[in-house]
Copies of this chain bind each other. A is one copy, B any other.
Amino acid sequence: MKSEHKELMKQRKRNICLTVAYDGTEYHGFQRQKNCTAVQNVLEDVLPRIFNDSIELAAAGRTDAGVHAKGQVVNFFTDGIIPVDSIPRAANRLLPNDIVVTAAREVDRDFSALHSAKDKIYIYKVHNNKIPNPLLRRYSWHYEYNLQLEPMQKALEYIVGTHDFSSFKAAGGAPNMNPVRTIYEAQCEKEDDMYTFRFWGNGFLYHMVRNIVGTVATVGNNRMSLERFKQVIVSKDRTKAGKTAPPEGLFLWQVNY
């Protein structure tokens, strides 16, 4: 039944790909939910009004509750006739102002926002100050204890490469998922009291970025040595790593195809 439905969807004329930015603060993540509001719910409510068609979309990445996106990518099949250039403005007129369609294009029929993604960039921001800043609180992790940039940068070097990232997967995550990912870049920069982490990889396990940042912060706070950080990766044991950094600092920044 489900695959039959999928085939019916694919008989529609156009495959539309949207880039979507959102402030995740008020949403229960990206993925459609039954009893609370996810970003997908809002998009699937609004888009039918401009396409005159039911819409079922697939996304490049499922962001968690409170996580933001600058460049989430979705696609869906439709018979709707609105020209691509008109989609962002038409959609944004109807969307709440914390969700914005930033670009639209028509893509090949075999394009999938989820499966065609080659690599992704995530950004994580840490505001390091004894005093919280109410103007930064929605878009960064407020970390009040001491952090040192250099040991964190060294720890991130161990993240780069092809590894089994089981140590950083979600504690209750799917047990059968292949935990091997390749990280091309893992960096941290500091400007005033704001640390910006940047991760570029071919894929990320559920909670992986937040678990890496939570553990790297333990290194930056001098509560974990670099040697032990290295062992955490090799151990493939989630219980050895640090806590999960909170969602408000995380941004799905870019998806490349």
Contacts and interface: CB of A to CB of B under 8 A. Distances in A.
Interface stretch (A98-106, A184-192, A231-239): A98-106
Interface stretch (A57-65, A126-134, A146-154): A126-134
Contact of A23 (B68, B131, B137, B251): B137
A92 B131 CA distance: 9
A169 interface: no
Interface string A199-216: 000000000000000000
A137 B98 contact: yes
A16 interface: no
Interface on chain A toward B: helix, strand, loop, or mixed SS?
mixed
Interface residues of A, number: 22
Contacts of A131: 88, 92, 100, 102-103
Interface in A39-77: 68, 70
Interface in A116-147: 131-135, 137-139
Contacts of A138: 23, 138
A17 interface: no
A88 B132 CA distance: 10
Nearest to A22: B134
A97 interface: yes
A38 interface: no
A144 to B, nearest CB: 10
Nearest to A99: B134
Contacts of A97: 132, 134, 137
A21 interface: yes
A21 B137 CA distance: 12
A137 B98 CA distance: 8
A46 to B, nearest CB: 14
A92 B132 CA distance: 9
Q: Which of A22, A97, A100, A134 has the most CB of B within 10 A?
A: A134
Interface of A: 21-23, 68, 70, 88, 92, 97-100, 102-103, 131-135, 137-139, 251
8 contacts: A23-B138, A70-B133, A88-B131, A98-B134, A98-B137, A100-B131, A100-B133, A135-B139
